[in-house]
Amino acid sequence: MNKEGQTKAEFQKVGSNSAKSDKGFTVTWWPAGGVDYLDAGGTVRVDSELLVKPLRILVYPRSGGLKTMTHSRAEEVFVNVMRALEYLGHQVERW
């Protein structure tokens, strides 16, 4: 199965801007800014902003919520956020 097929199989859309993973986390994007990542460890806010021309979401790996985590955990959360947003149909850039 290709990567796209794996991502589609992993996620389920649970709201217009929210995706739940079978790996135990939920990602919700707020168009006014920010992404909430929820798992067994709690909720973390990842900073983001919506840009146009072309339409895309910038996601910031140096967000305040990620700074309190170990590097490996912060990277895991960040990558999961990006994958979930892509599943929801958004073009995503790491900034």
pLDDT tens profile 62-80: 999 899 999 999 999 999 9
Record the tokens describing residue 45, joined without a space. 């806010």
How confident is residue 51, by pLDDT bands cut at 50, 70 and 90? very high
Average pLDDT over residues 47-54: 93
Is pTM beyond 0.95? Reply is: no
Average pLDDT over residues 36-54: 94
Q: How far is 75 from 69, CA to CA, in rounded Å?
A: 9
For the stretch 76-80, contacts whose Cβ atoms lie closer than 8 Å and that sit 24 or more positions apart, written own/partner, are 77/37, 77/44, 77/46, 78/46, 80/21, 80/23, 80/25, 80/27, 80/37
